[in-house]
Each structure stands twice: as C-alpha cells, then as structure tokens.
Structure 1
Amino acid sequence: MSDPIRVLICDDHPLVLEGIRSVLETYGHIQVVGAVGSAEAALALAQTTAPDVVMLDINMPQLSGLDAVELFRERLPNARLLMLSMHDSREYISTAVMYGASGYILKDVSTGEIVSAIETVAAGGSYFSSGVADVLLQRRGRNDAAMPLTTREQAVLLLLARGKSNKDVAVELDISVRTVETHRKNIKKKLGIATTAGLTRYVIDNGLIGAGE
C-alpha cells in the first residue's frame, strides 16, 4: 500500500479551514499534517511536517498566498502548491502559476474535486477547477496564435518579469549573460515594451503560463 498524501491546509477563515480538514480526514489515502490560519504558520509547520501538497488561500493578511508560493518554492521545493480562492480572476490565476503553483481551485467546488486536485498535484500534474480552466483556455486560445515570442524568449520573459537579473536568468537557463541580453532586447523590440515593469504587466495580462510550468 502506498504512503498517504500528506496535506497541509492554510486558510485564515476558521470555518473553511476546519471544513476542508474534516472532509479530507475521511479519506484514507490523505493525511492532514496541519491546518493553520496564516502563511507564516504554514511555512514554519511545513519545515517539520514535510507535506506533499500545501493548500494555500490566496487572500490572507500579512503574507498573502501568492507571496507565500515563492517562499515555499525556495524553502520546500518538493512541496506541491494548490491555491484556494473565491475568485476566478485571470490575474490571480496566471500570477499564481507564474510563481510556481501547481493548481488553482475555487472554494465552492465539490469535495470530490478537491480530492482530485490533491491527487493530481501530488502525482506531479497541474489542476485547475472547471471555472478556472475556462478562464485560462479562453486567454491561451486567443494568445497562442498571436504570440510573437519563441519558447526560449517566453522562458526569459517569465524570469525577467519575476525580477530576475540577466545573470540570474543566465544561470537558470544555462546560457550566457550575453545571450540573455540579446533575448531581452528582442523581447522588448517584439512587444514594444521598454521597462521590466511593463514586461511583468504583459505576462500577467496575457496569462503566459506555458513557459513557466
């Protein structure tokens, strides 16, 4: 028998937190290793419980779920991140995935869908609840045909939009700094964008998640 999927839940609404926990605890193949009300507490607890999947509410005080994604990616790279939200905002969705989340589900989905999302993400896949998937597909469908950038340029763009330096991008993609500079010039020329902030806005507005998955 395989080991249960270890899940850590983080939501600042006690009713939501306990509701999800009580539901998941009825499944034999899922082990809830913690249920906490802040991203800071989730990060601290995750260090000792080593969860396979972390369910993060996006809208939390102090440290938001989106900001926590980056910290989890740095400190617990093996943990898979599943975002919880009441909003099917394209900006939230694309930003969450760009930062490294593996899935995004709405809080009003069925128990069965929550479990499916956990199973899929734990197995290394990506999961978006139906309403979220529709939002992404609408945007991707419009942009794929019109996307002027090559796959490598998209990868460089995503890293630059996350605030990485040319040197950081070069190390991550295993290319020279000069090559990164060339890509950067080409990207700005193709998109007609002069600033890094403008590139970040472009990434979010266009739901560019493919190159960063």
Structure 2
Amino acid sequence: MSAPNPIKVLLVDNHPLVLDGLKAILETYDHINVVGAAAGARTALDIARNAAPDVVLMDINMPELNGLDAIELFKEQSPATKLLMLSMHDSREYISTSVMYGASGYILKDVSTEEIIEAIETVAAGGRFFSTGVSDVLLERGDKAQKTKALTTREQAILLLIAAGKSNKDVAGTLDISARTVETHRKNIKKKLGIATTAGLTRYAIENGLIGG
C-alpha cells in the first residue's frame, strides 16, 4: 500500500556494491525515497542534518566510526530519525547493544528484499523490526534476563563473585556471611538458572553482560 508521503531513507555502508545495490532496489518502490547514500557514519550525519530522513539503514561494521557508536550521535542530532541496523552478524552482543543504544530494528544482510522493505515500513511507523534469526537470539536473551531478575540482590552479588573466580570462603569473607550460607545460595542460584556447574555460572554471567568476557 502506497503511503501519502514517501518514507525518506538514508543508506550507510562502506561497501560500494552493497550501497549501490540497496539504492537500486529501494528506488524501485514508489513509497520509498532514498535521500542519500554514505560510505561512512560522519558523512551520513551531515546528510541527515539537511535531508531529515525518516529511517537510516546503517551497517554496523564501518571504519572510523562504527554503526553502534553512530546510533548515539544520530539520536542526539536527529532524534526523529529511526535507526535500522544492517549486519552480517547475528551476534547477541551486537543486537542487544544496538537496541540499548536506541536502534529500532536489526536485520541481517542476507534477508529478502521484501523483508528489508517491511523493516523500513515498520520502523518508519514507530514500530520495531528484527529479522527472524535476530528475533531468536533476542528471545533467548530475554529468557535469560527474566531468570536473572528472579535472583535476589544477594544472589546476584554472589553470582558475580563466583563468576569472578572466588571460592565459597572468599565470597563469605567479602559479604561477611558463613561459607555454608554461600553454598546454600550457590545451590539456589544454580537451580533458578538451570545451570549445573560453576563454569556454567561464569559463562552465564559473561553472556548476560554481568561481567566482562
């Protein structure tokens, strides 16, 4: 269905073939108006100031200023513009960071033209869009986040110390509780998270951004 006003789209990708290909595809749609194409985020920010795009379709991996850092600059300088990230990577870290920084969507470079158009339409209308593989990764993270919320503050503190390689005795000394109490908490944490080993707890903490990897 054609929109009364075309959706103004700015393309950002440091690969000329990708940029030209996207531009050629999008220009075949009457309800989409490509207002600019840039090989870098800083150039894109300059274009956005004048063109006021509705949607910026931006690659994550770019030299100088990467797409993730550019999200924050776009949110500051062009707050009405929606950010739709384009990537070859279905990395949980990239996806969750994009969302945290303020992107409205995340699509993989191998999706169909129809999915790219749907993504642009959805975020332009104020919605969120994640391509299928991305949604699966997000749902997996969401399940884990819910489990983390189920931990008490004390359990989260103990999880962090365990993940940092502390023994029960060390944890007990740090939190001024008995080693037996620490062991009880450790068992409860494993039960709540469905994790059987200490190594698994450490991996869980890293994957959920509780400690650095």
Measure the CA separation in 2 of the matches of 1:35 and 1:25: 12
Measure the CA separation in 1 of the matches of 2:206 and 2:95: 9
Q: Deviations over 1:108-152 (max 9, x none)?
A: 000000000000000000100001001111221233244248xxx
**Within 5 A, what are the aligned runs for 1:183-198?**
191-192=156-157
Q: Secondary structure, in 3 states, of the residue corresponding to 1:147?
A: helix
RMSD: 2.3
Measure the CA separation in 2 of the matches of 1:100 and 1:203: 24
- Kindly provide the amino acid, as one letter, of the partner of residue 53 in structure 1: V
Measure the CA separation in 2 of the matches of 1:124 and 1:33: 19
Measure the CA separation in 2 of the matches of 1:4 and 1:204: 43
Aligned mate of 2:139, from 137, 140, 157: 137
Q: Which residue of 2 aligns with 1:46?
A: 48
Measure the CA separation in 2 of the matches of 1:204 and 1:102: 25
Q: How many residues align?
A: 164
Measure the CA separation in 2 of the matches of 1:64 and 1:204: 23
Q: Is the 8 Å Cα contact of residues 94 and 207 (structure 1) preserved in structure 2?
A: no
TM-score by length of 2: 0.71
Shift in CA distance, 116/56, structure 1 to aligned 2, threshold 3 Å: same
Q: Is the 8 Å Cα contact of residues 140 and 207 (structure 1) preserved in structure 2?
A: no
Q: Which residue of 1 aligns with 2:91?
A: 89
Measure the CA separation in 2 of the matches of 1:88 and 1:41: 26
Q: Is the 8 Å Cα contact of residues 148 and 190 (structure 1) preserved in structure 2?
A: no
Identity of aligned residues (%): 62
Q: Which residue of 1 aligns with 2:207?
A: 205
Q: Secondary structure, in 3 states, of the residue corresponding to 1:132?
A: helix
Q: Is the 8 Å Cα contact of residues 136 and 207 (structure 1) preserved in structure 2?
A: no
Q: Deviations over 1:165-200 (max 9, x none)?
A: xxxxxxxxxxxxxxxxxxxxx96x563259xxxxxx
Shift in CA distance, 110/19, structure 1 to aligned 2, threshold 3 Å: same
Alignment gaps of 5+ in structure 1: 150-185, 195-201, 209-213
Q: Which residue of 2 aligns with 1:68?
A: 70
Q: Is the 8 Å Cα contact of residues 144 and 208 (structure 2) preserved in structure 1?
A: no
Measure the CA separation in 2 of the matches of 1:133 and 1:127: 9
Q: Is the 8 Å Cα contact of residues 8 and 32 (structure 1) preserved in structure 2?
A: yes
Q: Which residue of 2 aligns with 1:152?
A: none
Measure the CA separation in 2 of the matches of 1:38 and 1:112: 25
Q: Highest CA radius of gyration, 1 or 2?
A: 2
Q: Which residue of 2 aligns with 1:121?
A: 123
